[in-house]
Amino acid sequence: MSGLWRCWTLLLLVTGLSHGLSGGMLHPRETPTRELKELGGIWSFRADNSPERDEGFRLQWYAKWLRQTGPVLDMPVPASYNDITQDIGLRNFIGWVWYDKEVWVPSRWLENLASNRIVLRVGSAHYFSIVWVNGAQVTQHEGGHLPFEVDISNILKDSLGCPCRITIAVNNTLTLNTLPPGSIQFMNDPTRYPKGYFVQNTEFDFFNYAGIHRPVVLYTTPSVYIDDITIITDIWESTGFVRYEVSVVGSDYYSVAVTLRCKLDQVVATAQGAIGQLKVANANLWWPYLMDENPGYLYSLEVKINANTDSGVCEDVYTIPVGIRTVRVSAQQFLINEKPFYFHGVNKHEDYDIRGKGLDWSTIVKDFNLLKWLGANSFRTSHYPYAEEIMDLCDKYGIVVIDECPGVGIRQPESFGNKSLQHHLVVMEELVRRDKNRPSVVMWSVANEPASQLPPAGYYFKTIITHTKELDSTRPVTYVSNANFNSDQGAPYVDVICVNSYFSWYHDPGHLEVIQLQLNNQFDNWYDKYQKPIIQTEYGADTIPGFHNDPPLMFTEEYQALVLKHYHAVLDEKRKNCVIGELIWNFADFMTVQSVTRVVGNKKGIFTRQRQPKSAAFILRDRYWKLANSTGYLHKLNV
């Protein structure tokens, strides 16, 4: 093992990586009792190019301003660092990179530390992060797609009148036990490679973008505060029910008042106590897009606590959107509010041109407008959790979400071992904790295209699916398979069969005539064996925009269009019995590692990376609006 990996392993041991969760993860919001300071913008940045990638730790870069340790770059946050500069070495960099920023904490926050907390929150950083404030390590986190936070009140108690230094070191190295997995390959032939040369191998088909990808914020809460809220909704005839549980930290002596308001800000129900139920007569239900005139209807739940402390009465207020809806799966249907729902949508990537996976509001809003233009009612967060800001819009607009964890590329036997399993369980805890209250999230996906035919896969996925159901009993759980129906070890434990297939692309490339036969057999085999509803979660073909040929050839727009039409012919027949959805791969072109099979990224998008339509987009648009019309709701929308 090289010094690079000795450094990585020792750091995990020294810093004591935790495999358990405590506390909630409420999204930071400004309320009458909470304030928020965003830390986005330009940060100082430096990659550790030392042979062992350990210079930053040996020389304690966190103990001073990063600019005092050597040359730094200006780096936007949130963003991936890979495509920001013209340096190809930084684009492909593997190892530790360092960020820091000077932050002035509001004086009123520091003057009230006896009765208030100050919390630092990172929306996500890929992949392993360590955080220091004024040179003191305050937290660490493994995983590149979910938020983490820490109370830094004690660190800041002597900071009045001077700036605070926040330092974050991020390592994008992937191993067989990370999620997603990867491996480092050292090239030891001195006639072909320089000394110490290595590459990061992955088994997923998207670029390993890295950096601080989502917003970094400071926020305050009172010393006695609302730590977590859990919402479960139900329906009986025209009455909606909102069951809630509030977790309070800082005192055992407090009162809880809960108020539910409609969109017009009128009070529709109230309750007292940390656990209770609200009853809403003639409830406005949360409906998916195109299933109702007013999709995505959200109530507002205000939780207010009062507690007695040594300094007097302490109050905290937090408001959370609530969508009243139910989800249920039968042998042949997926039901939302007891009405059959057919997924017609897309797979997406957080892939925003030069920003990589960094949160980009302009592209996010454009993407939602394109989803509406398509008539898409759903998407899968392939292959990792998306930003909370994206999920907020799904709740608001009525876009149904299959919420997938970063379990992509689990292909090697070692990735099914106990170490990987324990980390996978923690990731599912983090994901469920973050998204459990979202009406748009109707199903959890614990993996994409694992080697589920391997013998250890049965126990592995049984354990993860069982654990996920213990965390949330209200939603079905699945994973997405490309294994043979007869050898898939985890399929008995999922609620919905999700299948990826690329007939006439990866299989029998160029032979369009075999698609319908093979796809019919695929659906029949899966349904006959498991008697569970099926979603075609991926299908498609790489297409270079503007590339045409007649007769159709691979990589042309005509070929992509014919692949879709052959798939649709079978899907139209099978959705009468066992198929409950279809998600095209992919919404837009996206970046991958360089290879001879990829022309500057994956080109299976129906839109280009710049969000311009290919011919297939118009085929999907015509199909999806016709599918929406079959629900009988389309005429209400005057479309």
pLDDT more than 90, % of the chain: 85
Mean pLDDT of 486-513: 97
Backbone angles phi, psi at 617, to 5 degrees: -60, -35
The Cα–Cα gap between 325 and 91 comes to 44
The Cα–Cα gap between 482 and 502 comes to 10
Is 70 exceeded by the pLDDT of residue 8?
Answer: no
Is 90 exceeded by the pLDDT of residue 325?
Answer: yes
Is 60 exceeded by the pLDDT of residue 635?
Answer: no
| Per-residue pLDDT reduced to its tens digit, 553-571 | 999 999 999 999 999 999 9
Place of tokens 């730094």: 72
Beta-carbon contacts of residue 564 (< 8 Å; ≥ 6 apart): 539, 540, 584, 616, 619, 620
Task: Name the residue type at position 249.
Answer: V
Which pLDDT score, from 0 to 100, does residue 27 have?
Answer: 95
The Cα–Cα gap between 87 and 93 comes to 10
Is 50 exceeded by the pLDDT of residue 2?
Answer: no
Sheet hosting strand 225-236, strand order edge to edge: 225-236, 239-249, 275-280
In the 3-class helix/strand/coil scheme, how is 361-378 assigned residue by residue? HHHHHHHHHHHHHHCCCE
- Among 270-279, 356-365, 511-520, 619-628, which is the least confidently predicted range? 356-365
Specify the higher pLDDT residue, 357 or 513: 513
Task: Name the residue type at position 185.
Answer: Q
Is 60 exceeded by the pLDDT of residue 632?
Answer: no
| Per-residue pLDDT reduced to its tens digit, 14-54 | 333 333 466 788 999 999 999 999 999 999 999 999 989 99
Mean pLDDT of 57-80: 97
Task: Name the residue type at position 53.
Answer: R
Give the 3-state secondary structure of residue 340.
strand
Beta-carbon contacts of residue 189 (< 8 Å; ≥ 6 apart): none
Tell me how crowded residue 600 is: count the other CB atoms within 10 A of its CB: 11
Q: What's this model's pTM, rounded to 2 decimal places?
A: 0.94
Whats the size of the chain, residue-wise?
639
C-alpha dist (Å) from residue 389 to 321, 326, 442, 599: 13, 23, 18, 31
Report the DSSP pairing between strands 299-309 and 312-322.
antiparallel
Determine if residue 601 is left, alpha or beta; phi over 0 gives left, psi from -120 to 50 gives alpha, anything else beta. Answer: left
DSSP letter at 30 equals: -
Mean pLDDT of 371-377: 97
DSSP letter at 556 equals: S
Is 80 exceeded by the pLDDT of residue 639?
Answer: no
The Cα–Cα gap between 39 and 421 comes to 34
Cβ(212)–Cβ(78) below 8 Å: yes
DSSP H helices, 319-456, are 361-374, 388-397, 418-435
Structural domains for the chain? 3-172+208-221 (2.60.120.260), 223-322 (2.60.40.10), 336-634 (3.20.20.80)
Tell me how crowded residue 187 is: count the other CB atoms within 10 A of its CB: 13
C-alpha dist (Å) from residue 10 to 7, 15, 443, 635: 5, 8, 38, 63
Which pLDDT score, from 0 to 100, does residue 20 have?
Answer: 46
| Per-residue pLDDT reduced to its tens digit, 140-181 | 999 999 999 999 999 998 888 899 999 999 999 999 999 999
Choice among 404, 449, 538, 582 that is catalytic:
449
Task: Name the residue type at position 522.
Answer: Q
Which pLDDT score, from 0 to 100, does residue 18 have?
Answer: 35
Which pLDDT score, from 0 to 100, does residue 493 have?
Answer: 98
Give the 3-state secondary structure of residue 143.
coil
Active site residue 237: no
| Per-residue pLDDT reduced to its tens digit, 338-352 | 999 999 999 998 888
